Amino acid sequence: MEETLSPVDFVVGTDSASSNSGMGRATKKDGDVTTVLVDGVPSIIFFDRVQQFIAWKMALIVVVKLVGKIGFKTLFNKVSSLWKQRGQFQLMDLENDFYLVRFQDKDDFDKILMGGPW
């Protein structure tokens, strides 16, 4: 049975690789996040440590927007055959034909980002 992750869990991850990377798991501390109202609109301010953690976790993620309808498994199989990546990747359906693609391998990420197909 496949596990369904929230977008936050998908980005932050639950794998053991993150615990061996020096960044570790995210633990919220007082002052990490501040919420204020600016002209009646909530504004969220992240402390530098939180911004660095988010940037580190997002480093190998691409947001994909599809034009047209295609099923999740069909998309996964199609990009797997087109990209011919060395490592694994994860695909997450966000909504409105947007997907997150998280790569395990930096070379795969660079190849796909710079080389397409687009």
- Domain residue spans of the chain: 1-59, 60-118
- Residues 12-41: tens digit of each pLDDT: 555 544 444 444 555 666 667 888 898 999
pLDDT digits (tens, 9 = 90+) for 45-66: 888 888 888 888 888 998 888 8
pTM of the entire predicted model: 0.59
How many helices (H) and strands (E) in the chain?
A: 4, 5
Q: What does the pLDDT look like over 68-101, one tens digit per residue? A: 888 899 989 988 888 888 889 999 998 888 999 9
Burial of 89 per CB tally in 10 Å (0-12, 13-18, 19+): buried
- For residue 33, the SS3 value is strand
